[in-house]
């Protein structure tokens, strides 16, 4: 068996957009949605959340601020007001681990009426009443069909553990028809397993309203240091001080602040 090494001229490389050099970020081959975080966009190929591919978000447990990380992009896709509302598209969520707080999402610019939630009988919120609904295999089928439809603005899916590699490949193929970002939430242990997703990020909490984002995989050179991102705040200054153990930690929250606390369910 013979192997051939072909050396392309720099001029030819520039004329072939499908080619990219390993030491550089891949040029945008598809549309992207800006993440709303300048530091993150600078490290994402194309300068934002990619369309027509899968993006994996790995996290140790829900509630780190993962939804607030995505809210600026979701607000662009499913805007709650202004000119963006006229071009608003739906967002489908598959098996979210907690109930969504519509008021908190509206506060952050997302139209809650554009959200479609699908629960499976084996998901984190499964109950006896859900046993006759979608098992994980059917939920994955529904996710695949949503991606293939081309009618959804964004997809967020909390996948079952021990997901087979061929299931991810099927989703990645389906995502090629999806003109929008597709986010898959997975457990941290999945980082050592192969994945068809071109973009993989590891999320970790870094304090009140801060999130650590480590790029595990991208079409470009490795990023050695994690990014520290300031998330959109949803708590009042008094509640943030209490969470930090500040001087107001001994004070009792007023009823209005209790409502603010409940809005944290958006994450």
Q: Range with the lowest mean pLDDT among 27-36, 185-194, 197-206?
A: 27-36
Sequence-separated (6 or more) residues with CB below 8 Å from residue 215:
43, 200, 201, 222, 223, 227
The beta-strand segments (E) located in 13-145 are 32-33, 49-50, 54-59, 91-94, 115-118
- What integer is the mean pLDDT of 67-96? 83
pLDDT in tens, 230-263: 998 876 566 556 655 654 333 222 333 333 333 4
φ, ψ for residue 80 (rounded to 5)? -90, -10
pLDDT the model gives residue 157? 95
Mean pLDDT, range 193-219, rounded to an integer: 93
Q: Would you state the structure tokens that stand for residue 66, as one six-digit string?
A: 């993962």
Task: Taking residues 41-57, report their average pLDDT.
Answer: 95
Residue 194 pLDDT > 50, yes or no?
yes
Query: Is the four-CA dihedral 97, 266, 211, 194 of positive or negative sign?
Result: positive
Tens digits of residue pLDDT in 123-134? 555 555 544 445
158 - beta bridge partners? 185
Q: Where are the beta strands (DSSP E) in the chain?
A: 32-33, 49-50, 54-59, 91-94, 115-118, 154-158, 182-187, 199-205, 210-217, 227-230
- In order of their start, the domains of the chain are 22-233 (3.40.50.300)
Q: What is the pLDDT of residues 9-38, one digit of tens each?
A: 555 445 544 554 554 555 556 799 999 999
- pLDDT for the residue 179: 93
Whether 84 has a pLDDT exceeding 70, the answer reads: no
Average pLDDT over residues 147-159: 93
What letter does residue 115 receive in the DSSP assignment? E
Least confident of 3-12, 184-193, 221-230: 3-12
């Amino acid at each position: 068996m013979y192997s051939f090494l072909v050396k392309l001229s720099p001029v030819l490389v520039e004329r072939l957009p499908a080619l990219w050099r390993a030491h550089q970020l891949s040029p945008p081959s598809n549309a992207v949605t800006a993440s709303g975080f300048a530091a993150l966009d600078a490290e994402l190929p194309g300068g934002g959340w990619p369309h027509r591919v899968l993006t994996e978000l790995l996290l140790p447990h829900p509630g780190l601020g993962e939804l607030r990380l995505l809210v600026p992009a979701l607000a662009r896709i499913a805007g709650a007001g202004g000119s963006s509302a006229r071009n608003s598209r739906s967002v489908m969520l598959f098996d979210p681990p907690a109930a969504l707080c519509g008021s908190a999402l509206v506060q952050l610019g997302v139209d809650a009426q554009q959200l479609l939630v699908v629960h499976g009988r084996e998901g984190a919120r499964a109950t006896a009443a859900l046993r006759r609904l979608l098992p994980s295999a059917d939920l994955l089928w529904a996710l695949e069909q949503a991606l293939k439809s081309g009618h959804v603005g964004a997809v967020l899916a909390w996948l079952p553990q021990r997901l087979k590699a061929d299931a991810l490949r099927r989703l990645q193929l389906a995502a090629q028809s999806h003109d929008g970002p597709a986010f898959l939430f997975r457990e941290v242990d999945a980082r050592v397993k192969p994945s068809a997703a071109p973009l993989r990020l590891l999320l970790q909490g870094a304090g009140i309203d801060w999130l650590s984002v480590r790029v595990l995989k991208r079409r470009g050179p490795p990023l050695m240091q994690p990014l520290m991102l300031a998330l959109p705040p949803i708590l009042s200054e008094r509640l943030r001080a209490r969470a930090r153990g500040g001087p107001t930690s001994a004070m009792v929250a007023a009823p209005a602040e209790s409502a603010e606390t409940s809005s944290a369910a958006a994450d």
